[in-house]
Amino acid sequence: MVFMEVDLSWNVIISPEQLDAKGLLLHKAIILRLMDDIASRKASKEHGYYVAVTTLNSVGEGKVRELSGDVLFPVTFTCITLKPIKGDILVGTVDKILKHGIFLKAGPIGSIFLSEKTMRDYKYVGGDNPMFLNDKHANLEKDTMIRFKVLGLKWLESDREFQVLATLAADFLGSL
């Protein structure tokens, strides 16, 4: 999982109340609106998670939208994004342990599932503090940090997030 700095474009809509004669306030309003929009957008299938807007690169000429009186400004900006892809090696923290696998979290990715089928040499032990045991390696329990590989991904449009399928079936993977 590698963070990327990407150049993107967006249309920022400013309502008439914020349109001030002083250019500086308008600029600030555009930046704040842009950051708000990107924060609500959370992520997209093409770019992954939008982490933070770093710079506003250009602001185009504003176009008045006839019905509302709002002004639309096409902008270009640089943003830090994070997109998990197949084959990625990531480190995540154990969130929940169930019989059929482990749910992990890694940064903004909230839904990572590690199936017990990919953990051949681990054994599930239930109880108050469920865990997966292994003779040679450390136990996998809540809050353990695990290095895993991304087996597959799914983009969930409704939640605007990625669902990741993980595996431990390769060398140098497992708990840290």
Give contact residues for other proteins (rule: CB under 8 A).
1-7, 28, 32, 35-36, 38-40, 42-43, 46-47, 49-52, 54, 80-83, 85-89, 91, 106-108, 110, 147, 150, 170-172
Output b/e per residue, 88-122; b: 16+ Cβ within 10 A: bebebebeebeeebbbbebeebebbbbebebbeeb
Q: Which residues contact 132 (CB under 8 A, 6 or more apart)?
A: 97, 102, 116, 119, 122, 123, 124, 125, 139, 140, 141
User: Is 7 or 123 the residue whose CB approaches other proteins more closely?
Assistant: 7
Name the one residue in this structure whose structure tokens are 């009186």: 69
Do 72 and 29 meet the contact criterion of CB atoms below 8 Å apart?
no
User: Is 86 or 117 the residue whose CB approaches other proteins more closely?
Assistant: 86
User: What are the helix (H) ranges across 14-85?
Assistant: 23-41
Residues 111 and 115: their CA atoms lie apart, in Å, by 13
Output b/e per residue, 14-45; b: 16+ Cβ within 10 A: beeeeeeeeeeebeebbbebbbeebeeeebee
Distance in Å, CB of 162 to other proteins, minimum: 12
Distance in Å, CB of 9 to other proteins, minimum: 11
User: Is 86 or 142 the residue whose CB approaches other proteins more closely?
Assistant: 86
User: Is 31 or 59 the residue whose CB approaches other proteins more closely?
Assistant: 31
Distance in Å, CB of 126 to other proteins, minimum: 29
Distance in Å, CB of 101 to other proteins, minimum: 22
Distance in Å, CB of 96 to other proteins, minimum: 17
User: Is 23 or 87 the residue whose CB approaches other proteins more closely?
Assistant: 87
